[in-house]
Structure 1
């Protein structure tokens, strides 16, 4: 009886999602270049949502973040929020998947079959959203010429800025590459590599204690970054959730055709989690604080 119920529920969900697509009920999401133009013009903060954040809002967990009822509540709050100098990004997939490489396109096509209704239930359908994929500018994108254009605009965000990374202790943004070479300076607040939201209040307090509001805060901290960018924006910072940008840049530099491990960096998507301790003196000199 239970199997029949589950099957009927799945069929019903597919029918509802198809109805949403036929009626063109969907969030409004601008593309990557428009998103970056907006950030550059308004110097705003950015919270990003992907399929992982959707799972967490639905009460599930993902590989590096356990289920957390407060995180679930905050993600639901922020996705529909409207505060000055802050934007929310969603996957730019609701108008079509023609910009993606085949495997990524198939993933998003299957995702929308099951999840479009959920996105619509959480999002404000009257709100303008922006593109989560601005930081996924290379591997999944069909037009690599656009990848270079997106990267160029991304680098303008931290051009001649004093930057503070708030990152997982094994993320190591910008280490051994030149992604942030045009920043004036780089400092770091290191946080737990997994289940960072369990230390959220400590992370937020540490940023407020150590970071001046004229500095640019760049965050690589999974779903915790989505919440942190929002709260820091309210506190007067410009804070941007960059997600996997550093890893994406590593793949871009290599001309990689599939996702691969990067020496010395945590890469969740290829299950590279055991990373040697950091010994580089320059990196260690950039660390302002470590949150456990």
Structure 2
């Protein structure tokens, strides 16, 4: 009499596991297909919103473009004007403009205040004769379209009496991308065989790199607070006015724009150089983008 074969418990468990695995795999495949569909829909929506945003911003960008065509110097002409006229230089970027015009706006390294906003506005409305004001390079990307759409109606009246502006982005990567070694030499010409002082935040990441600064005859550092530098800017100004350097270079964010203006008013040449060293390293050495680096060196 033949014996009937029966499935062992191990065989039953294996079959159940395979079935569960198959169900999980099918569920994951369904989820993957759904995620791809949602991603595609999100991309379509984003492109649509970008198109709408660009269309709405077009009149504003056109107005900004008209001002730039009328008043803004090119990259290299900005530095030539500073050199030929022994001018100071205060740069305005999106941060400075928003701090000036938006009470609730702040930066991670600089809080806002009515006095800071007022001092930034004075740079434009009570100009110093020996100061060149820097205005941003015109970008038409989503970020800058949003910036100009937000603030241009308030920014434009402040520029009414300004006939010439420099390009604020002369210390940004885009400057070195466009000008290469000519741009490096244009910067170096500003401090050729001069005694320079560099004002920056204590423990800041600013470096006096040889490629830009080794032709200065002397250099020394003066330090401010690493964050919220504007809070002690008056004390920094007094120290800078007592300094006997030929040229003061400033890397202090929005506070640096104000300090360059104050020193110009006092008859001292001061240039807001921002992230110039990081920008050089980014373009020529493959270094990190300036804003991806910490404002201060961790200790």
Same fold at TM > 0.5: yes
> In structure 1, what is the Cα distance between the partners aligned to 2:97 and 2:273?
18
1:144–1:15 Cα change, 3 Å: closer
**Secondary structure of 2:271's match?**
strand
Q: Residue 132 of structure 1: CA displacement?
A: 0.1
Conserved? CA contact 1:17–1:116, under 8 Å:
no
* Per-residue deviation, residues 186-232 of structure 1 (Å, max 9, x unmatched): 111011111000101111111123x02x5210000111111111111
* Correspondence for 1:101: none
Distance 1:20 1:35 in 2: 24
Q: Which residue of 2 aligns with 1:83?
A: 128
User: Which residue of the partner structure matches residue 69 of structure 1?
Assistant: 114
Deviates more, 1:80-89 or 1:15-24: 15-24
| SS in structure 1 at match of 2:180 | helix
Query: In structure 1, which of residues 49, 54, 58 is the aligned counterpart of residue 92 of structure 2?
Result: 49
TM-score by length of 2: 0.72
For the residues of structure 2 that align with 1:192 and 1:133, how far apart are their CA atoms?
24
1:69-111: CA deviation from partner (whole Å, max 9, x where unpaired) = 1110010111233322211011021xx65xxxxxxx4433443
| 8 Å contact from structure 1 (residues 219, 243) kept in 2 | yes
Specify the alignment match of 1:218 in structure 2.
249
Equivalent residue of 2:256, what SS?
helix
List alignment gaps of at least 5 residues for structure 2: 1-52
Change (3 A) 1:114 1:183: same
Q: Contact 2:87 / 2:269 at 8 angstroms: preserved in 1?
A: yes
Compare CA radii of gyration and give the structure with the larger one. 2
Task: Tell me the distance in 1 between the aligned counterparts of 2:197 and 2:115.
Answer: 26
The RMSD of aligned alpha carbons is 2.6
More helix, by proportion: 2
What whole-Å deviation, never above 9, does each CA across 1:235-275 have from its counterpart, x for those lacking one? 1211000011111122133134x62xxxxxxx6x1152452
Does structure 1 retain, via aligned residues, the 8 Å contact 2:57–2:145? no
Q: Distance in 2 between matches of 1:125 and 1:85?
A: 16
Given that 1:163 and 1:218 are in contact with CA atoms closer than 8 Å, whether structure 2 keeps it comes out as yes
- 248, 267, 270: which one aligns with 2:279: 248
Distance 2:122 2:295 in 1: 31
Equivalence for 2:232: 199
Runs (4+) off by over 6 Å: 13-16
CA deviation after TM superposition for structure 1 residue 125, in Å: 5.4
TM-score (norm 1): 0.74
Contact kept, 8 Å, 1:47 with 1:241, in 2: the verdict is yes
Paired with 2:252 and 2:61, the residues of 1 have a C-alpha distance of: 32
For 1:70 and 1:129, the matched residues in 2 are separated by 24
* 2:134 equivalent to 1:134: no
Paired residue for 2:214, among 164, 181, 196? Answer: 181
Compare 180-189 and 25-34 and name the one that shifted more: 25-34
- Deviation at 1:146? 1.6
Q: Match of 1:107? A: 143
Deviation at 1:20, TM superposition (A): 4.1
Q: For structure 1, list consecutive stretches of 5 or more residues without a partner in the other structure.
A: 1-12, 98-104, 260-266, 278-292
CA contact 1:80–1:122 (8 Å) conserved in 2:
yes
2:297 maps to 1:272: no
Q: 1:37 aligns with which of 58, 67, 80?
A: 80
Distance 2:293 2:110 in 1: 14
**Which residues of 2 match residues 9-48 of structure 1 at below 5 A?**
18-22=58-62, 26=67, 28-48=71-91
Q: What's 1:165 paired with?
A: 198
